[in-house]
Amino acid sequence: MGAILELSVSLTASIMEDLKLAASRMAGAGRRSFLAEMTLKYCQGNARRAETLMGWGRGTIKTGLAEKRSGLTCLGAQSARSGAKRWEQKFPEVAQALWKLAESHAQQDPTFKTTLAFTRLTAAQALKELRAQGFDEAQLPSPGVMAVILNRNGYRLRKVVKAKPQKKFQKPMPSLPISKKRTRSHGANKPGA
């Protein structure tokens, strides 16, 4: 009566192929969680058996089982080691000079519908002014990259429509009360009227 019955779920070749396919489509913590669940379900939590049957990495399975047991997710450090740093991170002093320059040329959207600052400053002009400030050519990006940097930081590279000056004198219009007075007074001075 004290005997524990162990359920053994048999894995067919098609189920194994489906599990391998599903695992191959996942990445990161989701994949490790899936591997841990399948190891617990089909291999009684034995990482070595899952490695032999499924061909999954035993270390990955062990990490997934530990994550499941503790409830904590392990984070990878790939983003800290890989990828190129942004230009702003490589040259912060030049970036600060660029932001000051862009702010001096920036103008708010006249409709106030967006938070973007429109600017007349082009990438080539920004590079020219940064060179004039004495920054080395090796620190400055190409004009195309400069345009991307300005766009990424909210400075849209397009010309700003200048405010149209108001006319000094309005044309006389028959519908305006002021125009009616002028037309009457001008008509009274005409000879023969």
Encode pLDDT of 73-109 as tens digits. Answer: 887 776 667 677 888 889 999 999 998 988 888 776 6
For residue 64, name the pLDDT band (cuts at 50, 70, 90).
very high
Give burial (CB, 10 Å; 0-12/13-18/19+) of 49.
middle
- Between CA 129 and CA 138, with CA 132 as vertex, the angle to 5 degrees is 90
For residue 18, name the pLDDT band (cuts at 50, 70, 90).
confident
Q: Could you give the residue ranges of the DSSP H alpha helices within 55-117?
A: 58-70, 78-81, 87-90, 92-105
Average pLDDT of the chain? 77
Q: Give the C-alpha separation, 40 to 164, whole Å.
A: 73
For 121-152, write each residue's pLDDT tens digit.
Answer: 888 999 999 999 999 999 999 999 998 898 88
For residue 27, name the pLDDT band (cuts at 50, 70, 90).
confident
* Structural tokens at position 26: 């996942």
Q: Give the C-alpha separation, 94 to 130, whole Å.
A: 8
Q: Give the C-alpha separation, 51 to 58, whole Å.
A: 6
Among residues 57, 58, 64, 54, the alpha carbon closest in space to that of 34 is found at: 64
Q: Give the C-alpha separation, 61 to 31, whole Å.
A: 9
User: pTM of whole model > 0.85?
Assistant: no
Rg over alpha carbons for the chain, rounded to the nearest Å, is 36
* Structural tokens at position 29: 């913590």
pLDDT confidence of residue 7:
34
* Structural tokens at position 8: 């053994």
* Total residues found in the chain within this entry: 193
* Order of strands across the sheet that contains 117-119: 106-108, 117-119, 155-157
Beta strands, E only, the chain: 106-108, 117-119, 155-157
Question: 96-111 burial by CB neighbour count: b if 16+ within 10 A, else e?
Answer: ebbeebbeebbeeeee
For 154-192, write each residue's pLDDT tens digit.
Answer: 776 555 555 566 666 666 666 666 655 555 555 555 555
* Structural tokens at position 186: 């001008």
